[in-house]
Chains A and B, each alone.
Chain A
Amino acid sequence: MLEIKNLHVEVGGQKILKGLNLNINDGEVHAIMGPNGAGKSTLSYAICGKPGYEITEGSVTFKGKNFLELEASERAGEGVFLGFQYPVEIPGVSNINFLRAAINSVRKYRNEGELAAGDFLKLIRSKAAELEMDPEMLKRAVNVGFSGGEKKRNEMVQMSMLDPIFAVLDETDSGLDIDALRIVADGINRMRCPEKSILVITHYQRLLDYVVPDFVHVLANGKIVKSGDKSLAIRLEKEGYAGLGIEENVA
């Protein structure tokens, strides 16, 4: 699904990723943990094509395509979804209108026709219900006045509507109470299947209790320094990064 080789990324002249390697196969769930400032969000932005993130070396191949040649919106068309750590507000644009525009844009990229209004509304209501979101919230402007947890849940609604084949979830669990965590985790698990892959970025083990990863990696100082299975996350929680010999933020 995704092959990242020797990726070097700079932002504002600063080197953040320094030769990162990562392979994700179809159907796998990977988790990335690591100290603050290690470059976890930068990795997600580099995969998704955020302007301002300069790839100075290395490659990102998605389903055999050279991803670095595609614009951010094209990468979305190819089936990548980013669950943002801090979802932004878009005043005056309702969740419904936003998603409708997004879905039709992606369908246009894939040479599929527009989704009929009636079908769209049916779909969005069922997805909102699955994630236990009050349908009234769909009429509100995107993330405006939403609490942290509501924003994260909104990301999940968008993800289930856009139906990506690869999702990068950047600290989707931060700010969630126990109930919200369960709902979001269910949403992520609903996506799991042999054709799709998920990359979960998180600080904490508790999400990984619900969304059990196939692989866990530690990103520190711009590289993946350690990889293992789900037991690695449990060890990290017990011993911390220092306990595993991982130095935080070496310049």
Chain B
Amino acid sequence: MVSTLETRQAVEEISGDYKYGFVTDIETVKAPKGLSEEVIRFISAKKDEPAWLLDWRLKSYKKWLKMEEPDWAMLDYEKPDFQDIYYYAAPKSADDRPKSLDEVDPELLKTYEKLGISLQEQEVLSGVAVDIVFDSVSVATTFHKALKEKGVIFCSISEAARDYPVLMKKYLGSVVPAADNFYATLNSAVFTDGTFVYIPKGVRCPMELSTYFRINEANTGQFERTLIIADDNSYVSYLEGCTAPMRDENQLHAAVVEIVVLDEAEVKYSTVQNWYPGDKNGIGGIYNFVTKRAACRGLNSKVSWTQVETGSAITWKYPSCILQGDGSVGEFYSVAITNNYQQADTGTKMIHIGKNTSSTIISKGISAGKAQNIYRGLVKVMPNAENTRNFTQCDSLLIGDECGAHTVPYIEAKNPTSQIEHEATTSKISDEQLFYCLQRGLDVEESVSLIVNGFCKEVMQQLPMEFAVEAQKLLGISLEGSVG
């Protein structure tokens, strides 16, 4: 979610943590189109980064130039022209923003209403230049105060590069190395924003961390870089994204999220993604090519990924867990909805390395319209991974007869004591189920929403409260017009 300029300025003054400089320079700043060393130096300078980080970016860029774009996914799309992209753009000035909700696309407002988003939040989301909303300022201040008391670090990645170089140098690129894959390497070169989180030893983060409370630049999401470190015996729940439909001029989104979890620590990472999916004819829409990976390095460390992916023209991501520490646990709960011409190739990789590790994968794919939905998962058990346990359940729901659901599970077990279970189902919303609901008084939209929410229940239950209610409504909205 986006916060307004005024709000940001107000919070900056109060918390004093952020440099004031960049705000005044907005009018004159914009990088030229295309990717080159100059553009990268420009970005790094704009963010006031230390030399080591610029160096890291440039090394990544050189690697990227030698890499080939991957082609193995079951996705059909026009390859992006990398020279036709702005890699840095300043936030919109007050003149470019809508003056009130009257100037905002009424279809967008209708969706906000259906999701139950308050008028105030609608204004912020659509970029209306509102006066300082006293409540949001005081909430943000209280929030940051509480975190500071516990020693929790929650700031932008550029901040962290300046203020916490030791942590950054140690962990950045340690889970997703710069040369990992084409899009992660691109991200390593040009990331412009992102979140840094550090939870100190023994601290249970007092509230859910949401990107809403972190000071963002207006154009986020394009190449976001996130790094979360949970030190021994700590816990944090992190929320990414929001149910409100997000538009972006930039079609390509290639984010990277790295999570490091030490002894006895736990990270819960929840995502609700509703980027613009393109129109009913499949024109436009965001390409969401993301690399997310968690390293469960500590003893009994645990990571839980929960995602509700309803937007984007193309979703290509495999939030994964490397289960190094003995007794470590990885979980992946996913709902991916594709409608009209959307495509999703998503799943997870659970790599079992330590002893007595376990993983749970619950994937719910829903296809409607002419969409394609692919689950691609890997459960890999290394030779020394004694006593591994895995349970995978992937269910597909098809709505209509022009969509597709595909499952590509990989299981590599190199240790004979491992126990791996895989269940898969494919079903339709039957005419009988639909009529049963209709006959009880529910109209078609309500019926589909009810049935789909029931289908996704196990995953939806994993979402933190804030997201849960909105996400349920979002499922219904994403499938409007798919039946009848």
Q: Which A residues fall within an 8 A CB radius of B?
A: 48-52, 71-73, 75-77, 81-82, 84, 86-93, 97-99, 101-103, 105-106, 109, 141, 158, 162
Contact call A106/B450, Cβ cutoff below 8 A: no
B440, B443, B444, B446: residue with the most chain A Cβ atoms closer than 10 Å: B440
Classify the secondary structure of B's interface with A. Answer: helix
Measured between alpha carbons, how far is A141 from B458 in the docked complex, in Å? 13
Q: Beyond A92-B455, A93-B453, A141-B454, is A162–B435 a contact (Cβ under 8 Å)? A: no
Of chain B, the residue at the smallest CB distance from A86 is B432
CB distance from B458 to the nearest CB of A (A): 8
CB distance from B418 to the nearest CB of A (A): 30
The contact string, 1 if C-beta is below 8 Å from chain A, for chain B 437-481, is 111111110110011011111100000000000000000000000
Contact call A91/B440, Cβ cutoff below 8 A: no
10 contacts between A and B (CB under 8 A): A50-B439, A72-B438, A76-B438, A88-B432, A88-B436, A90-B433, A91-B454, A92-B454, A105-B441, A162-B441
Measured between alpha carbons, how far is A49 from B439 in the docked complex, in Å? 8
Query: Which are the 6 A-B pairs with shortest beta-carbon distances?
Result: A92-B454, A93-B454, A92-B457, A106-B441, A72-B438, A76-B441
Of chain A, the residue at the smallest CB distance from B427 is A91
Query: Contact partner of B433 among A71, A77, A88, CB < 8 A?
Result: A88
Query: Contact partner of A73 among B430, B432, B441, CB < 8 A?
Result: B441
Does B27 count as interface, using CB distance less than 8 angstroms?
Answer: no
Contact call B438/A87, Cβ cutoff below 8 A: no
Contact call A50/B435, Cβ cutoff below 8 A: yes
Count, chain B residues at interface, CB 8 A:
26
Measured between alpha carbons, how far is A185 from B12 in the docked complex, in Å? 71
- How many residue-residue contacts, CB under 8 A, span A and B? 82
Measured between alpha carbons, how far is A93 from B447 in the docked complex, in Å? 11
Q: Beyond A71-B438, A88-B436, is A93–B450 a contact (Cβ under 8 Å)? A: yes
Does B431 count as interface, using CB distance less than 8 angstroms?
Answer: yes
Q: Beyond A50-B435, A51-B435, A90-B433, is A162–B443 a contact (Cβ under 8 Å)? A: no
Q: Which B residues fall within an 8 A CB radius of A?
A: 430-444, 446-447, 450-451, 453-458, 484
Measured between alpha carbons, how far is A81 from B441 in the docked complex, in Å? 9
Contact call B435/A98, Cβ cutoff below 8 A: no
Contact call B442/A102, Cβ cutoff below 8 A: yes
Which residues in B have their C-beta under 8 angstroms from that of A101?
442, 446, 450
Query: Contact partner of B443 among A73, A81, A99, A103, CB < 8 A?
Result: A73
Query: Contact partner of B438 among A73, A98, A103, A158, CB < 8 A?
Result: A73
Which residues in A have their C-beta under 8 angstroms from that of B432?
86, 88
CB distance from A158 to the nearest CB of B (A): 7
Of chain B, the residue at the smallest CB distance from A110 is B441
Contact call B431/A51, Cβ cutoff below 8 A: yes
Measured between alpha carbons, how far is A77 from B453 in the docked complex, in Å? 23
Which residues in B have their C-beta under 8 angstroms from that of A162?
440-441
Of chain A, the residue at the smallest CB distance from B395 is A91
CB distance from A124 to the nearest CB of B (A): 14
Q: Beyond A90-B433, A92-B457, is A77–B451 a contact (Cβ under 8 Å)? A: no
Which residues in A have their C-beta under 8 angstroms from that of B439?
48-50, 72-73, 75-76, 81-82, 84
Which residues in B have their C-beta under 8 angstroms from that of A102?
437, 440-442
Of chain B, the residue at the smallest CB distance from A45 is B435
CB distance from B348 to the nearest CB of A (A): 21
Of chain B, the residue at the smallest CB distance from A53 is B435
CB distance from A170 to the nearest CB of B (A): 11
Contact call B433/A98, Cβ cutoff below 8 A: no
